[in-house]
Structure 1
Amino acid sequence: MNVVVVGSGIAGLTAALHAHEAGHRVTVVTKGELGDGSTALAQGGVAGEYGPGDSAARHAADTLSAGAGLCDPAAVEMLVREAPARIAELAARGVGFDRDPHGRLLRGREAAHSHARIVHAGGDATGAAIRHALVAGVRRAGIDVVEHAFLLDIVADHAVRGIRSLEAGVTRDRDADAVILATGGAGHLYAHTTDPAGITGDGIAAALRAGAAAADLEFMQFHPTVLATGAPFLISEAVRGEGATLIDDTGRRFAFDFHPDGELAPRDVVSRAIARTAGAQGAPVRLDATMLGAERLARRFPTIDRVTRERGHDWAEEALPITPAAHYLMGGVCTDLDGRTTIPWLFAVGETARTGVHGANRLASNSLLEGAVFGARAAAALRAPWTALDAASVHGGPGPIMHDDGDSDAAATAPPFSRSALQRLMWEEVGLLRTRHGLRRALAVFRAWRSVSPPAGASAADHEDANLLLLAEATASAALARPASVGAHFLEIPHLETV
């Protein structure tokens, strides 16, 4: 079978390696260089290494709890059951997970996990280690790689026929018997994001244009602790897992005001607590890790230690100013447990996919695991006859699209379209704290901008803007269609508002 994998993070490269090893002809098409994307930036680790008193069942329970009742239990069970095998596979492919002097994997704990079950590499450089190992594996295997190729569209009639891409300014059609989308999420919908520059929802947008079902786009996870000075830089949740605390400008720990688990509450709760506290005091809150000591911080978090010091912060002596930022999209293209979408022979894996694993709020360190598990499963499904995914059968189901044109006054006074204007509007109205009035205003503006389309001879940046606009409208529509707060979708005083 001729297989095109679009994207080269953990999900895409895992799928490519498994497909190649199964005898398929594989081409990896990637927007930047091989291995670029969010995977390389992941600090925390991979959940699923179960020690004494822990189990896959406990991991599943934590995942379901964090997902606020909207996870697909079958997908979660699949994820945790296959976790040890995928971690072992990553180690076998060359990922140097951190170990104790006896050679046993070291396990860390992050927020909303009941046990320490997260393996890491290089302290806080897990993603970089995974990227290095998988890229090396693809190179050794001789898999065809096309770099600096921008996905324009899925080519399909009743089934996938290939992709259309922009390569060196030239549009090219690439035939395929199957396409696996692994292009990541859509963090650049927002003015503040931890995602690298190329994460603009290209695979999800292309799938939507091709007619594939999507769901849960309203669930964007905001990472609570991103350095508030300079370019966005994520401070791993594992820092709080080691004992760091969140403090306001008086030095008081405030997280327990919002949840009994304090700093280790689910990410959506912690992010909102930070946003509210920072808003009330008119200045960023701070992450205090000074109690961990300089030696421990440098050993356990060498990347964070280096970057914060380069930016003038001695976090062993002072608390770091932090803010939330858009981090991970829980929704995406609807798939079954093998990555199949509603379009025959179109698969989606990783952050591009909505597998049902994350529900309304992703449990920390389940994302790298999801990429490894479902990337392998999608490749294995290439050997089986196609089984159509019925969108109506998807756990939770794709949400309805709102046909209300929104706030007509907002549409009439919409500013000229620009990416920065879109990102600001998403941050203000479709971000951490939402109102139905604000969502309707945003939807109206997005629909007023809808006439914007890439011009003839458009650049990749023009196509990125079109993708972001399509996803912004779909996200605001999905948020309006969900009447109650749950997980990452939080409506302010909804009982006082009217549609």
Structure 2
Amino acid sequence: MRAVNRHFRHDVLIIGSGAAGLTLALSLPASLSIAVLAKGDLAQGGGSTWWAQGGVAAVLDDGDSIESHVDDTLRAGGGLCHKDAVRLTVSHSREAIDWLLAQGVPFTRDPSPDKEECAFEYHLTREGGHSHRRIIHAADATGAAIMQSLLEQVQKRPNIELLAQHVAIDLITSSKLGLPGRRCLGAYVLDGTRDHVDTFAARFTVLACGGASKVYLYTSNPDGASGDGIAMAFRAGCRVANLEFNQFHPTCLYHPKAKSFLLSEALRGEGALLKLPNGERFMPRFDPRAELAPRDIVARAIDHEMKRLGVDCVYLDISHLSADFIKTHFPTIYRRCLDFSIDITREPMPVVPAAHYTCGGVMVDDCGRTDLSGLYALGETSFTGLHGANRMASNSLLECFVYARRAAADIERCAAQSAESPALPSWDASQVTDSDEDIIISHNWDELRRFMWDYVGIVRTNKRLLRAHHRVQLLLAEIDEFYSNYKVSRDLIELRNLAQVAELMIRCAQNRKESRGLHYSLDYPGRLETAADSIIVPENACEQT
């Protein structure tokens, strides 16, 4: 018996169940009906927030200041940060942490709170680019601690419905239905538990789907980081910006069985050193801040040394510190490395750079509103202007909380004047058939990630980018034909989105005729005097709201 297309109606549809999505849901009034869609199983931590180790950057200690945090962020961002977005975010950092504490997040307390360096009652660590200790954390599993606390709070709210195994396919807009105005009305969603597409109508739709680091062969991100929100928003007519700035985390564990395991920057913040295979330190040759230089500098230095020496990895060594300190501050990393027979209290960890964070995204205002009325974008999906050409460590989670709370206030304000969404048509699957050629999906997925790694990686050239652009155009055409003729699956949806975002990344990179932050070109090694965003306007661009 063929499954029936179901229709759902909510006040707010949140696509994504990470830090930004859950914060928004909890910050909205209980009078609004809310649906939160998760691509995977919530209990398995499929989103990127679950894997965040380091913590949240915030001005919490008396020795720190908003000005210092702002200056550090601007410096790390390579002259491309939007100063108003930076100041807005940082000035609300203490408020965001107080809110998280009220949700029950078990941040690590400082064992010696009276010391002058850190008078705040919670332990603060330091990461690359920061001039002060300002990273509040829960040991080395901050993301998991935050997610567990937020999920517990969400489950207490009867107006919030959490739906696992739900993958958004495309946004439904008034223009697509031939209706007046430029408004998002909801989304078509694949229910993985039924293998069928349902229609979700909502007065407000929020994209909190994470980034697109899965576009690269080597990444610290989980499999779901396929740029869904960015691709859906662009197809719906929203502008995107600065997608050439893809942050490569300098230190992912290099081991054949260690899939996507990140070694937190907090290791270097507490004194871990980067070394060559012969034990020699190399970061002081690249930057006076050495291991605490911003991530783009550290990642390029590692990439340079690996290519210069022809080695597969370099090493991160914290074994000179006491074993008790290491086990107390980095219990997750210690146990995980032991799984691979690496005792970090006695020996260095083999590391390589891996794609970690998408600094660009869907253009939004200071409340998370996109170009399309009724559509918001938050977290890694969005482009607020905070990160500039290089995200400073632990600013990303802060951005999630600050902008999610601002978007909630804006939605609450607009809800009183917002009309109900009109009746929406069902998903039309009458012209498609089941595919017996799924090998095409896996082949295209692999090809895309390999040429993005080779041609649009840490170091770029015009020739490499041109080759990548030719390849992605061919893939997009092939994927579009497949999408038009066969029944959708999660793999096909993610491949379609990932290819779209890859094409946007390549175009942004081709448009930037300089080297700045995370974008380094051998053809344009210098930096232009004037910093400008790389903005791509879709052909069906929405009127700015």
1:201 aligned onto 2:201: no
Kindly state the Cα deviation for residue 292 of structure 1 after the two structures are TM-superposed.
Answer: 1.4
Distance in 2 (CA, whole Å) between partners of 1:494 and 1:359 is 19
Q: Say whether the 8 Å CA contact 2:59–2:90 is kept in structure 1.
A: no
Alignment of 1:318-357 (within 5 A): 318-357=347-386
Alignment of 1:416-495 (within 5 A): 418-451=444-477, 452-453=479-480, 454=483, 455-494=485-524
Q: Determine the structure 2 residue equivalent to 1:272.
A: 300
Distance in 2 (CA, whole Å) between partners of 1:64 and 1:198 is 30
Alignment of 1:133-148 (within 5 A): 133-142=149-158, 143-148=160-165
Equivalent position to 1:176, from 202, 205, 222: 202
Q: Is there any run of 5+ residues in structure 1 with no aligned partner, and where? A: 387-415
Distance in 1 (CA, whole Å) between partners of 2:412 and 2:29 is 12
Q: Determine the structure 1 residue equivalent to 2:185.
A: 161
SS at match of 2:185: strand
Kindly state the Cα deviation for residue 384 of structure 1 after the two structures are TM-superposed.
Answer: 3.3
Distance in 2 (CA, whole Å) between partners of 1:100 and 1:265 is 25
Could you state the TM-score of these two structures normalised by the residue count of structure 1? 0.91
Equivalent position to 2:16, from 7, 32, 36: 7
Distance in 2 (CA, whole Å) between partners of 1:83 and 1:196 is 27
Q: Say whether the 8 Å CA contact 2:208–2:377 is kept in structure 1.
A: yes
SS at match of 1:174: strand
1:28 aligned onto 2:36: yes
Distance in 2 (CA, whole Å) between partners of 1:59 and 1:494 is 30
Kindly state the Cα deviation for residue 100 of structure 1 after the two structures are TM-superposed.
Answer: 2.4
Matched residue type, 2:506:
A
Compared CA separation, residues 136 and 495, structure 1 to 2 (3 A): closer
Matched residue type, 1:238:
A
Q: Say whether the 8 Å CA contact 2:444–2:475 is kept in structure 1.
A: no
Kindly state the Cα deviation for residue 144 of structure 1 after the two structures are TM-superposed.
Answer: 1.0
SS at match of 1:112: coil
SS at match of 1:494: coil
Q: Determine the structure 2 residue equivalent to 1:55.
A: 65
Distance in 2 (CA, whole Å) between partners of 1:491 and 1:190 is 18
Q: Say whether the 8 Å CA contact 2:220–2:260 is kept in structure 1.
A: yes
Kindly state the Cα deviation for residue 166 of structure 1 after the two structures are TM-superposed.
Answer: 0.7
Q: Say whether the 8 Å CA contact 1:193–1:232 is kept in structure 2.
A: yes
Q: Determine the structure 1 residue equivalent to 2:437.
A: none
SS at match of 2:125: coil
Could you state the TM-score of these two structures normalised by the residue count of structure 2? 0.83
Distance in 2 (CA, whole Å) between partners of 1:294 and 1:151 is 46
Distance in 2 (CA, whole Å) between partners of 1:495 and 1:291 is 37
Q: Say whether the 8 Å CA contact 1:224–1:271 is kept in structure 2.
A: yes
Q: Determine the structure 1 residue equivalent to 2:436.
A: none
- 1:274-312 Cα shifts (integer Å, max 9, x gaps): 011011122211001111122111100000000001111
Q: Determine the structure 2 residue equivalent to 1:224.
A: 250
Q: Determine the structure 2 residue equivalent to 1:402.
A: none
Matched residue type, 1:164:
Y
Matched residue type, 2:393:
A
Matched residue type, 1:162:
G
Compared CA separation, residues 88 and 495, structure 1 to 2 (3 A): closer
Kindly state the Cα deviation for residue 209 of structure 1 after the two structures are TM-superposed.
Answer: 0.7
Kindly state the Cα deviation for residue 50 of structure 1 after the two structures are TM-superposed.
Answer: 2.7
Q: Determine the structure 2 residue equivalent to 1:251.
A: 279
SS at match of 2:468: helix
Equivalent position to 1:359, from 371, 382, 388: 388
1:189 aligned onto 2:198: no
Matched residue type, 1:472:
A
Distance in 2 (CA, whole Å) between partners of 1:313 and 1:97 is 27
Rg (Cα) greater in structure: 2
Q: Which moved more, 1:130-139 or 1:28-37?
A: 28-37
Q: Determine the structure 1 residue equivalent to 2:537.
A: none
Runs of 4+ in 1 over 6 A off after TM superposition: none
Q: Say whether the 8 Å CA contact 2:515–2:525 is kept in structure 1.
A: no
1:127 aligned onto 2:143: yes
Kindly state the Cα deviation for residue 495 of structure 1 after the two structures are TM-superposed.
Answer: 6.9
SS at match of 1:141: coil
Distance in 2 (CA, whole Å) between partners of 1:289 and 1:279 is 24
Q: CA RMSD in A?
A: 1.7
Distance in 2 (CA, whole Å) between partners of 1:117 and 1:191 is 32
Distance in 1 (CA, whole Å) between partners of 2:505 and 2:97 is 33
Distance in 1 (CA, whole Å) between partners of 2:453 and 2:506 is 11
Tell me the percent identity: 42
Total equivalences in the alignment: 466
Q: Is there any run of 5+ residues in structure 2 with no aligned partner, and where? A: 1-9, 114-119, 175-181, 416-441, 527-545
Kindly state the Cα deviation for residue 110 of structure 1 after the two structures are TM-superposed.
Answer: 0.4
Distance in 1 (CA, whole Å) between partners of 2:281 and 2:522 is 24
Equivalent position to 2:398, from 356, 361, 369: 369
Distance in 2 (CA, whole Å) between partners of 1:166 and 1:258 is 48
Equivalent position to 2:80, from 59, 70, 73: 70
Compared CA separation, residues 38 and 495, structure 1 to 2 (3 A): closer
Distance in 1 (CA, whole Å) between partners of 2:196 and 2:318 is 50
Matched residue type, 2:305:
T
Q: Determine the structure 1 residue equivalent to 2:410.
A: 381
Q: Determine the structure 1 residue equivalent to 2:530.
A: none
Distance in 1 (CA, whole Å) between partners of 2:317 and 2:309 is 17
Q: Determine the structure 1 residue equivalent to 2:533.
A: none
